[in-house]
Structure 1
């Protein structure tokens, strides 16, 4: 036998460098659920969406005011009777087809202008948002063969905004709430338990609906960009960088023929614009939670401004720019407000 003693070796601590990250504890999950059910997110972004789409539809109705009868009125080639026959097949509906009389149509048009203005200003936003969605859906359905992507997006956003608390900031409702809060009597007795519970339930329901509405808005924009980018990637003209060349030579999308011809003269820039458009649209849903979100949003802003000028699609471009504003955080809009106060605006 050897003189060495066989002693047990000390156990080595397990190497956890490659271990999976810790799973979220029930406490963290509960905190996140509490945030989603009690704290409305992106309230300033919702206010921007309300102002943007309310103003956009108000300007749209004013621009088409001289042509309102030919587009939506009793004098339209697409008569109310034809529209009702189509509604029976598609399930659409419109308040404009409830009567064929001209005074009724003129009254509806005036009320649509008033509703768009009140929605933009944020007066009784919860109720007016429903009326605004009815207005947009009614005008959209009445002349559905004259709509485009911008009209479709405004229709969807008007429905989603009904769920949101988009009147919390930059609205007449917010101003009235501030005045009411400043004049409230601090010596007033506390409400009873039932009223308190009712207030808590209402606040929770408002937060849940608002967060669901903002999620639907974000998902809709991501789906729009992603599907458009993937669809373009399948086309040969986008792959070889010549798609914009053909677009710039279509008479339907040439409001400024000289400007379109000048832009079409730069082959390399046209090809780069094609590739950048596809890249931005496909990558958009994947950069929302990182620092690349801001340069991507800036490039998309430039892209939509170019579409508005070169292709003569201001309604579509404005609708997309307003939708992109939903992805800017509230601290960005608060900083804009502080900057405006600092500059004396």
Structure 2
């Protein structure tokens, strides 16, 4: 064998030996498996937003909070209702109509300046707040709640203390949410119907309410009752036209009415794949609405904090001193005067307010930091309510902040609040606010009120041929910032999971 052949053979043996080296000795690529991990995370995220309505306790506490705020406000101002929003208001009906011609806002109080009509709308608003607070026919009540809030606030736009803007926005967002999954009469009704094996679509009262709403819409449009808007010149009104029956707000209300009726028809006559697709669409809309509420909270605090930074009084640490010494905001003059004269306390409150508001959106990246800042902000609003005499503003802000409360805390709060009621009624039942069971189909009435069906009712639902959207039980559930997931009973009830 020649030397060249031996040299080539040695090179081949070396290459073969290197090719036969064990795979464990090779250096793995840092990008190996990234595609599979991304696909898995994407699939899990899509499943979470399509197969379940996230944050059932958070949306329920927001519903209860804002219904209570608006109810308390309407009861508080009941003796002065005619001056604030009624026919005796300094902001007269003709001035309100002129403004509506410019901003195209919606209110049923523009349809008539009759005193009896105003009384009807105001009393209806009180009844709607009570029904929404209790979670009775919640899907319909969210729409009526939006109508009453917009009607009163757009009638007299100069009445409010800042909290009315939050109520205004949340009244719109609640229409998109499935906020009666827990802590509602709808959930209890659906649970009892499932225990008796009664189909969720057997709801004559819901069908009657749906037909009544359609009749009211048709009468308002066809009779010309909603035709009080007018164009003005220097001599007075020159042209009346319809705002409600048009493609604007009228189209929105007719669209909601048709969607609710269509959803009942799908569940009644096509409970297979159409119902499954409808459930997924409803979950997506709910989760998108929940995200919008969270983003709205971050925008409010970010804008407030960054605008404060630009103010000279906030920069030198004396801004809190001035509202504490204004006659308009001193329900306890002696107390606020003493607090306002303590320089160190004023400086801490001033800088602390700016820090909490600016840092809160960034604190959402860490659960513990978020809970601490959330506790500080709620304490700040309680202080504003007591020291500055703005209770409804503070209640509205606390109700808005509650969307970030941890699930385990809300479950514990629901149990503590429900215990006296159960003892008073002298009966034992399911814990109020029971989380939706995995694999349970949400039962809904004709108005779209949703509630978890207990596991023992699952065979009955299966016999009816209705598909179920399985819940995604994984290690990732409940690890968000209090926006879903089951509580961990092994931890203290008031502590969030680490």
Which residue is equivalent to 2:332?
256
Which residue is equivalent to 1:64?
77
Which residue is equivalent to 1:228?
304
Which residue is equivalent to 2:369?
292
Which residue is equivalent to 2:97?
84
Do the aligned partners of 2:57 and 2:410 also contact (CA within 8 Å) in 1? yes
| Cα drift, residue 288 of structure 1 | 1.4
Residues 119-169 of structure 1, C-alpha deviation per residue, up to 9 Å, x if partnerless? 111111111101101111111101111223100000101100110001111
Do the aligned partners of 2:50 and 2:280 also contact (CA within 8 Å) in 1? yes
Which residue is equivalent to 2:3?
none
Q: Given the alignment of the two structures, is residue 96 of structure 1 paired with residue 109 of structure 2, yes or no?
A: yes
Using structure 2 for the length normalisation, give the TM-score.
0.63
Q: Given the alignment of the two structures, is residue 319 of structure 1 paired with residue 396 of structure 2, yes or no?
A: yes
Q: Given the alignment of the two structures, is residue 153 of structure 1 paired with residue 166 of structure 2, yes or no?
A: yes
**What is the distance in 2 between the residues matched to 1:269 and 1:104?**
51
Q: Given the alignment of the two structures, is residue 308 of structure 1 paired with residue 385 of structure 2, yes or no?
A: yes
| Cα drift, residue 194 of structure 1 | 3.9
Do the aligned partners of 1:42 and 1:329 also contact (CA within 8 Å) in 2? no
Number of aligned pairs? 336
* Structure 1 stretch displaced more, 231-240 or 22-31: 22-31
Match of 1:121 among 112, 134, 155: 134
Cα RMSD between the aligned structures? 2.5
1:1-345 to structure 2, matched below 5 A, reads 14=27, 22=34, 24-184=37-197, 194-290=270-366, 291-339=368-416
**What is the distance in 1 between the residues matched to 2:288 and 2:328?**
39
Structure possessing the higher radius of gyration over alpha carbons: 2
| Cα drift, residue 22 of structure 1 | 4.2
Residues 74-114 of structure 1, C-alpha deviation per residue, up to 9 Å, x if partnerless? 11111112101110011112111211111111111111111
**What is the distance in 2 between the residues matched to 1:114 and 1:38?**
34
| Cα drift, residue 185 of structure 1 | 6.5
Secondary structure of 1:146's partner? coil
Using structure 1 for the length normalisation, give the TM-score.
0.90
**What is the distance in 1 between the residues matched to 2:153 and 2:283?**
30
| Cα drift, residue 340 of structure 1 | 5.5
Gaps of 5+ in 1: none
